[in-house]
Amino acid sequence: MKVSKLYLGYAGFCYAKENHAITTGRNQEVKFKALWGLIEHPTEGYVLFDTGYTERFYEATRQYPSKIYAQLTKVNIKPEEEVKAQLLAYDISPESIKHVFVSHFHADHVGGLKDFPNATIHASRKAVDQLKNVSRTFGFTKGILTDLIPDDLMNRVSFIDKKPRVQIPVFGQAFDVFGDGHLIAVPLPGHAAGQMGLLLTTKKHTYFLIADACWLKESYQQGTLPNSMVRLFFDSWPEFKSTLTKVMEFHKLEPSTLIIPTHCAETTDPLVSPTIDLDVL
């Protein structure tokens, strides 16, 4: 049976205080790298997991009040680091990307969404509903910059919640993105409205891309929470804690599955290659 292939890369970064990400962290800024993934599905072709930052972030935060977002996060992205540019460097055209899986609509996860005009956008209904209703002026308080979202989103979205339902350990109900068992979307609410993670298996490993269900591996290994001040920016603090508990339980039950928080450099640095190679992971 054919399996999916996976490449993981970075598309820019921002800065965050480590002791905001975990209460036991240092009182210093660390890089939160914007992870993205290129998946080659056996029959559906190329699928992106999130799209990182692009220079559109700078334009979207040029004026107040959205400029506050930029001042808080200190985003760094160069043109050659954008997902589109990285793909083109390896002769993969943006138009050949058939699907984009959006974990959630925060700016560091959808910065490049406009670069893939032919892709079906897979996202949860709850995430899309929040996007539709969020204030264009104050959306940044929820991590959302509406200028980064394609105008034709609603014509291209495929709701994950409508996919075939499957059961997985600990989490219970999940969704089979293509109905063939290759890509399983897992609800991870709390950090952002309708956040989804992705389970997939390659020839070498099973990977669980958990987006921002936690920021650093210490959280799911030891139960260390982020600083309580960040709850102001979360969709639901109780749901975040519940999701983290489930990730911890899943890790204990399935220790061979590689759990990948988007911003945990300790986890992702060994997995990210400077060249796109779908046969490494």
* 46-74 pLDDT, tens digit each: 999 999 999 999 999 999 998 988 998 99
Whether the pTM exceeds 0.85: the reply is yes
CATH topology of domain 5-268: Metallo-beta-lactamase; Chain A (3.60.15)
* pLDDT (tens digit per residue) in 152-187: 999 999 999 999 999 999 999 999 999 999 999 999
Amino acid sitting at position 180: D
The residues, ordered by sequence, that sit 6+ positions from 232 with a Cβ below 8 Å of its Cβ are none
Residues 198-235: tens digit of each pLDDT: 999 999 999 999 999 999 999 999 999 999 888 878 99
Question: Is residue 226 within 8 Å of residue 212, measured between CB atoms?
Answer: no
How do the domains of the chain map onto residue ranges? 5-268
Residues 6+ apart with CB under 8 A from 175: 160, 161, 163, 164, 165, 166, 184, 185, 186
Looking at every residue in the chain, the average pLDDT score rounds to 95
For 88-139, the pLDDT digits (tens) are 999 999 999 999 999 999 999 999 999 999 999 999 999 999 999 988 887 8
Q: What percent of the chain is modeled with pLDDT above 70?
A: 100
